[in-house]
Amino acid sequence: MKVAQINAVCGKGSTGKICVEIGNCLDTDNIENKIYFISGNKTYKNGVKYSAAFYTKFMALFSRVFGNYGFNSSIATRRLVRKLKKFDPDIIHLHNLHGHNVDLKILFNYLSKSNKKVVWTFHDCWAFTAYCPHFTMVKCDKWKTGCYKCPQTRNITWFFDRSKSIYKRKKRLITRLKNLTIVTPSKWLADLVKQSFLKDYPVQVINNGIDLSVFKPTESNFRERYNISAEKYILLGVAFGWGARKGLDVFIELSKRLPDNYQIVLVGTNDKTDKQLPKNIISIHRTQNQAELAEIYTAADLFVNPTREENYPTVNMESLACGTPVLTFRTGGSPEIIDETCGSVVDCDDIDALESEIKRICTERPYPQDACLTRSKHFDMNERFQEYIELYISCVG
């Protein structure tokens, strides 16, 4: 059996790391595999970069101008198809295709004619909408019957709303596939797929996983480094791309409401974010050092995730693996990660309930470290990504 994964990135970002971990599982089982990508540098021995950074940026600009999101990058896609034909995989595993990395028409024409077994992991909702990876915040459900007059057009293109035609083209191309299995990391997203034009395809839920040898209780001098007294409760937020979607405004509001014995710490910020933050919030810019991140999770009393649009947030898993309970909005698949032993859920945008739960959890300590660690064992990447190997085997018979 040979497996080819296709993603915008390899070895970086959440999807790129997932691809590499699946690749590592395949290597362990002596299964020949490759990861085809366009952005960043090769970090995996079987990674194959099939386009240059300049070309990708030009295609992104082209999409911004003309609105043909998903139907550009023809030169790169033809090169990709040639490489796929040469490798001749038994399984083609698609991940994110909306990083200006493929022309859907060229790729899906090849997939249809080749009659390959296709697995497609949805890391968001883009596959069954015209443009949108997420649509919760704009409260749009046009995707159920057919996109048009997209409320998020200006986030995608400067001039032309082609959502109606893009939706029809995607639907026509994707539904031609006869051997497609869809994977979603969350039950929430699986339920959405069953309401879309892909409802007749098999859908399997495979939760994402994390490296429990890295994310584990890790003692440090974090409090000393940031001058946080032992009497203060540390409330932690971690995101890479802070804004309304990740709840930056919620933390700012909490900083005004909570008494002085609560210290908010945000990780993944930048200079732009810092300008929006009050002085009583500690800002830590993005770090690629996962060991340091584990130290911060461990030092926190509570991980707060007021995300408004989410699939299956890795940060929740990482926090539990470091022994820190999670409090989240009832958004997407975020509540699925915790249970009654290790965290709590409040309705999205209910700041009063969020504040009340923060105080209850920090003072009453209802979620002990051992319970969080027990729950985190479910997210062992070695077990979760092995499920993909089992899926591949079932697909090829």
Confidence (pLDDT) at 340:
96
Tens of pLDDT along 190-238? 999 999 999 999 999 999 999 999 999 999 999 999 999 999 999 999 9
Decide: 395 and 213 in contact? Cβ < 8 Å. Answer: no
Residue 268, pLDDT above cutoff 90: yes
Give the H/E segment covering residue 113. Answer: helix 104-114
Q: What is the mean pLDDT of residues 35-64?
A: 87
Residue 280, pLDDT above cutoff 80: yes
Confidence (pLDDT) at 315:
96
Q: Is the dihedral of CA 94, 95, 101, 102 positive or negative?
A: positive
120-124, 206-210, 286-290, 385-389 — which is least confidently predicted?
A: 286-290
Decide: 94 and 183 in contact? Cβ < 8 Å. Answer: no
Residue 39, pLDDT above cutoff 90: no
Confidence (pLDDT) at 66:
85
Give the pair of three-digit tokens for residue 98.
């909306």
Q: Residues 6 or more apart from 91 whose CB is under 8 A from it?
A: 1, 2, 3, 4, 116, 117, 118, 119, 392, 395, 396
Tens of pLDDT along 282-328? 999 977 689 999 999 999 999 999 999 999 999 999 999 999 999 99
Residue 29, pLDDT above cutoff 90: yes
Can you say how many angstroms the Cα of residue 141 is from the centroid of all Cα atoms in its chain?
21
Confidence (pLDDT) at 288:
63
Q: What is the mean pLDDT of residues 177-197?
A: 97
Confidence (pLDDT) at 197:
97
DSSP-assigned states of every residue in 359-396: HHHHHH--S-HHHHHHHHGGGBHHHHTHHHHHHHHHHH
Count of CA atoms in the C-beta half-sphere (13 A) of 336: 21
Residue 52, pLDDT above cutoff 90: no
Residue 281, strand partner residues: 264
Q: What is the mean pLDDT of residues 350-367?
A: 98
Give the pair of three-digit tokens for residue 267.
């990780």
Residue 41, pLDDT above cutoff 80: no
Among 15, 58, 76, 10, residue whose Cα is nearest residue 37:
10
Q: What is the mean pLDDT of residues 107-119?
A: 96
Decide: 371 and 352 in contact? Cβ < 8 Å. Answer: no
Q: What is the mean pLDDT of residues 343-358?
A: 98
Tell me the pLDDT of the chain averaged across its residues.
95
Q: Residues 6 or more apart from 230 whose CB is under 8 A from it?
A: 223
First to last CA, the chain: 11
197: how many CB neighbours lie within 10 A of its CB?
20
Among 4, 27, 190, residue whose Cα is nearest residue 93:
4
Q: What is the mean pLDDT of residues 44-55?
A: 90
Residue 19, pLDDT above cutoff 90: yes
